[in-house]
Structures are given as structure tokens and as C-alpha cells.
Amino acid sequence: MSAEHKPAWGASYRLIAAEKWKAKSAAMGRDVTDALVAYARPRLGMKVLDVATGTGEPAISLAARVGPSGHVTALDLSAELLEVADERARQRGLTNFTTRQADVHKLPLQDRSFDLATCRFGVMFFADHDLALSEIRRVLKPNGRACFLAWGPFEQPYWQSTMAIVHKRVGGPLLAPGAPNMFRFARQGTLSAAMRCAGFCEVSEETRTLPWNWPGTPDELWEYAQSVSVPFRPLLERVPRDQWDEVNREVQAAVSKYVEGDAVKFGVVVVLASGSKM
């Protein structure tokens, strides 16, 4: 992946947003995190690797589930995001949680080290998913499992109410050419096929619609979405300055259709896939 197409996950605007909206962001992602944790079936004493952990989920939730006899290693490319994850773990009083800055394509970890590997909304962005999945498989113990959660299609309410409106106005590519495609595993069977190619056995995949609720106003949600949706930065930067007021009004009107009480309530479509190392 070329430097100009490498996602700026630790960019300052994203870090500011992560701090500003951390409570509401956590609330919005809670059902998705809980679904992946339940799908992964962590047990007491397990050694877990969470890849592309960002600001700490599902790694923190997993650490609470595996208990003091277990351990979670939370791995990410961004040292800045890992600092946020570390602080969140400290606030929870977790002593079985460590972070590590590393690239999933070349894990600085020993073979057969983990019982379970997880990744929430990260597998789509691996530059070489064959290599990355093979690396994850390498560090799993025999009978260890890998569990991934990926984005479903772009054609769902959250994206159609936000980035699709911008795209309709400015045209051009939805995502930068050559950049990672965050919807690469949206089509049924593609993620499980990639896992089989990497050597995983007992592979399964399913699509689910989960709650995706923002506990605030449409304008807050839109500000948050612009700040943290790194793959859409080139799209957003193509909006002429004199058109932003109209774009904002159109997005907020679309998002307002999903307001219930004091929250914006979407259903988000995601893909869950798992496989074992024999």
C-alpha cells in the first residue's frame, strides 16, 4: 500500500474526536462489540490477541471475560490510539491487559501463543489479507479460533444517510483508488473464503443486523462520522467550501428520520466470520 493511501488511523483529528465523543461512541458501538465478544466465546484463562484494537474494544471487554488467569494483548499500528486503550483499561482496573504497537502483516509474536484472536472492523483494511490472516493463524495455538467482524454493504441506513449524500453531490470514487476497501467483505462468503485460503478450518460466516444507536443529536452524529471515518476523508475533502452548509442540512435531514426520543437509532449490517487452526 502506498504511503498516500495508507489510512491515517492515528491522525490528530481522529484522536480529538475519540476523546470528545468517547462516551457516545462507546454507547453506539456497544451492541456490535457485545456481538463479537459473544461470538468469540472467551473463557476464563484464555490468552487473547485483539488485532486493530484502536481505542480498546473488544479487547477491554474480552479482558473482563477471561479473568485474572487470562490475558489480552491489544495490537494496533497507532501508538496514539493504544494510549487511549491503555487509559481505558486502567480506568477499568484491568491488570490482564497489555497493548503492543505492531503490524498484523508481520506479528512480533511467537508461534502458537494465543487461544483466541479477534478483530472488530479491521480485517477489511489489511493491505494483504492473505498474509495478515496467515500471520494470525500462525500465532494461534492448535484448536485456537479467529473471529472477525466486518462491515456489511455500503447500502445501509448509516452510510446512506451520511457518506452517500456527500458522494451523490461531489461524484468521483467513493473510496480513494488503491486504498483499502472497507466493504471488501460485504458480499456473502468472501470473508470465509479468505479465511479458508489462509488455512483456517471449520470456517463459518453469517450476516447480522445489530443496533447502532447514537445517544445524541443528528448534528453530533454527523460531526463524529466525519471525524472518525478515515477511509472517507478524500471524499469529504472534495466538497467545495461553499457547498458545506447545504450538505450538512441534507445529511441532518436524512439522519433525523432515524431519531427516536433522545437518540438516533440505526440498524447496522455486519459480517461475522470465524475459523479454527487445526
For 153-209, how does the pLDDT look when each residue is reduced to its tens digit (9 = 90+)? 999 999 999 999 999 999 999 998 888 899 999 999 999 999 999 999 999 999 999
Distance CA 7, CA 179 (A): 8
More confident residue, 81 or 211: 211
Question: For 132, what's the count of Cα atoms within 13 Å in the CB-facing half-sphere?
Answer: 20
DSSP 123: G
The tens digit of pLDDT for each residue in 66-85 reads 999 999 999 999 998 899 89
- Supply the CATH number for residue 225's domain: 3.40.50.150
Query: Containing domain of residue 266, as a range?
Result: 3-276
Q: Is the pTM of this model over 0.85?
A: yes
Q: pLDDT at position 14, please?
A: 52
Helix (H) or strand (E) holding 260: strand 259-260
Q: How many domains does the chain have?
A: 1
User: Nine-digit cell at 175?
Assistant: 473510496
What average pLDDT does the chain have? Answer: 92
**Residue-wise pLDDT tens digits, 10-39:** 445 455 555 677 788 889 999 999 999 999
Are the C-beta atoms of 60 and 84 separated by less than 8 Å? no
